[in-house]
Structure 1
Amino acid sequence: MKVGVAGLGVMGRAMARNLSADGLLAGVWNRTRATADALGNELDVPVAEDATALADACDVVITCVRADADVLEVVAALAAGVSPGDVVIDTSTIGVDAAGEAAAMLEAKGATFLDAPVTGGPEGAEAGTLQIMVGGDPAVLERVRPALQAIGSDATHFGPVGSGQRAKAVNQVMVAGIVQAISESLSFAEASGLDTERLLPVLTGGAAGSRLLERRGSRILAGDFEPGFRVSLHHKDLNLCRDLLQKLDVNLPLVEMTIKHYERLLDQGYGDEDTSALFRLKRELFESGNRKSL
């Protein structure tokens, strides 16, 4: 199996390194050539001139880019280079309709598309422990499972193309709730004058414990919002969740509230900070003269 990676941001680079460690990586490509060249030199793998050339050199391509338009642009280029039987695995978080469009482009060339968004963040990508939510042909999933095992601890099939994105939407709603709860609770603790260094281990070890609290709690209290998972990306994802919810004729208050709060952070120039920057807004609630709901 010859695997290529298209899209070498924080997540894509980590995936490529893990594929290389398993002897599966056959090439990389990125729209910013310097990024691809640096990783190609590090891993001693070929750097494709474009996405079409990457598809021509590999039988499996993993894509990891930002949004619907990016995925469709990359898949269109890959479609020009795929051969019948090739597989494109998209790990981006995009809309269900965009996943369907990507699948149709590749099916016209005899190739297969799996929508396979991931959760676990940069730490999980680096450790190769991502959880992967897959939509598409289950037989194809089994055929490419060795590539997914290199980047994640598990790849779970949820149904036809688009099902992976639906599962990721559920994940992103839950993440919103966790970020909201941690931001409000730590603001409350700080304003109450508690020794937060003593409190954090108690919280992480009890019923309120979570991976986000364990990894980010002390950094939040220190005002360190280095991403992580950027506000702008979770804002984009929650708008995708809103689209799916509207098709069910439902509005979830948690989704609407978090989108609103993220828009405030975006307006204040904090879109590239970690989602835990929501603490900035929650802390304001406890400041003298500003005790009102967000």
Structure 2
Amino acid sequence: MAKVAFIGLGVMGYPMAGHLAAKGHEVSVYNRTHAKAEAWVKEHGGRSGATPRIASEGAEIVFCCVGNDDDLRSVVLGDDGIFAGMTADTVLVDHTTASADVARELDAIAREKSIHFIDAPVSGGQAGAENGVLTVMCGGEQAAFDRIKPVADCFSRAVTLMGPVGSGQLTKMVNQIAIAGLVQGLSEAMNFGQKANLDMEKVIDVISKGAAGSWQMENRGSTMCQGEFEFGFAVDWMRKDLGICFEESKRNGARLPVTHLIDQFYAQVQARGGNRWDTSSLVHLLQND
């Protein structure tokens, strides 16, 4: 068992930290809204810290899951930041979906302090976090990865080292680009089936067993047909992630014509008030044109 800290108790971090505690690890937590940290401690035990630094003190591994690059810097750096509470030869594992640049930036600072850094964005959404079956894509050194993997396994189905620091974030970008295309294709298919007056439950049951099958179809096909979107991975967050992909594509020269188009569709969903709707809400543009 390890002494760990978890910084950021949002819809992902709260259950992820809970799985660590349930598996017997000694967990301290921090959240910007302190009441949420206190609620977590009441439910799972452990302790909370008034600052990221205090929560991280004494931890062998610090996990972090916040919103974006700037949020990450705000909890890691400075006198009250995570690095200020960590000691040499400990490991910071960042689960934030952020840029590869900020991963490399924080890794360089960590090395100056003899701290190990791993960028480790996740896929699987809130349900994956709650059920402990996330997919974790890691960038960092093998030795540090080998230390954190058995602990990260507590909330994961797969924890994989993809390469040096930044590789986890780059892999997550690939993931989000693929999802955007899948959801748009599925939206058009579901809307077409509805317009053709097919029994869409039967349609989904049949085609999900063939070449068209996907996680999105099995988990979102039915709710898309019913026009239900008040759950899941928010459009706001998807657009943030796609923005990271676009910035990286400018550097590596990869063309993303379809992804840019789908991002515009998500902007239209936001204009309809769907900022917090699930990403499957792309179908709303077709059902209500």
**In the alignment, what sits opposite 2:212?**
208
**In the alignment, what sits opposite 1:46?**
47
Q: Distance in 1 between matches of 2:232 and 2:172?
A: 17
SS at match of 2:138: strand
Amino acid of the residue matched to residue 211 of structure 2?
A
Q: How many residues align?
A: 285
Asked if the contact 1:27–1:57 (Cα under 8 Å) also holds between the matched residues in 2, the reply is no
SS at match of 1:223: coil
Matched, 1:244 2:248: yes
Q: Distance in 2 between matches of 1:113 and 1:83?
A: 13
Asked if the contact 2:9–2:31 (Cα under 8 Å) also holds between the matched residues in 1, the reply is yes
- Deviations along 1:73-117, whole A, 9 cap, x unmatched? 111110111100111100111011111122123222221110001
Amino acid of the residue matched to residue 59 of structure 2?
C
**In the alignment, what sits opposite 1:171?**
175
1:250: how far off?
3.1
Of 29-38 and 241-250, the range deviating more from structure 2: 241-250
**In the alignment, what sits opposite 1:69?**
70
1:281: how far off?
0.9
1:248: how far off?
2.1
- Deviations along 1:45-70, whole A, 9 cap, x unmatched? 10111100011131211101111101
From 131, 149, 158, the equivalent of 1:127 is 131
**In the alignment, what sits opposite 2:36?**
35
Q: Distance in 2 between matches of 1:267 and 1:197?
A: 30
1:224: how far off?
0.9
Q: Distance in 2 between matches of 1:151 and 1:163?
A: 21
**In the alignment, what sits opposite 2:222?**
218
Q: Distance in 2 between matches of 1:277 and 1:226?
A: 9
**In the alignment, what sits opposite 2:58?**
57
SS at match of 2:207: helix
Asked if the contact 2:180–2:262 (Cα under 8 Å) also holds between the matched residues in 1, the reply is yes
SS at match of 1:269: coil
| 1:147-166 matched pairs, under 5 angstroms | 147-166=151-170
SS at match of 1:65: coil
SS at match of 2:211: coil
Structure 1 residue runs of 5 or longer lacking an equivalent are 286-294
SS at match of 1:10: coil
SS at match of 1:57: coil
SS at match of 1:103: helix
Asked if the contact 1:62–1:88 (Cα under 8 Å) also holds between the matched residues in 2, the reply is yes
Of 133-142 and 199-208, the range deviating more from structure 2: 199-208
Of 16-25 and 181-190, the range deviating more from structure 2: 16-25
Amino acid of the residue matched to residue 246 of structure 2?
R
**Cα–Cα, structure 1 residues 228 and 236, in superposed 2: closer, same or farther, change >3 Å?**
same
Matched, 1:117 2:124: no
**In the alignment, what sits opposite 2:107?**
103
Q: Distance in 1 between matches of 2:15 and 2:122?
A: 13
SS at match of 1:80: helix
Amino acid of the residue matched to residue 282 of structure 2?
L
1:197: how far off?
2.3
Asked if the contact 1:149–1:155 (Cα under 8 Å) also holds between the matched residues in 2, the reply is yes
1:266: how far off?
1.6
What TM-score do the two structures reach when normalised by structure 1? 0.94
1:254: how far off?
1.8
1:262: how far off?
1.0
Q: Distance in 2 between matches of 1:255 and 1:48?
A: 41
Amino acid of the residue matched to residue 50 of structure 1?
T
Asked if the contact 1:16–1:25 (Cα under 8 Å) also holds between the matched residues in 2, the reply is no
Amino acid of the residue matched to residue 66 of structure 2?
V
**In the alignment, what sits opposite 1:279?**
283
Amino acid of the residue matched to residue 159 of structure 1?
G
**In the alignment, what sits opposite 2:257?**
253
Matched, 1:6 2:20: no
Matched, 1:228 2:229: no
SS at match of 1:3: strand
Q: Distance in 2 between matches of 1:29 and 1:248?
A: 36
**In the alignment, what sits opposite 1:18?**
19
Matched, 1:79 2:83: yes
Amino acid of the residue matched to residue 5 of structure 1?
F
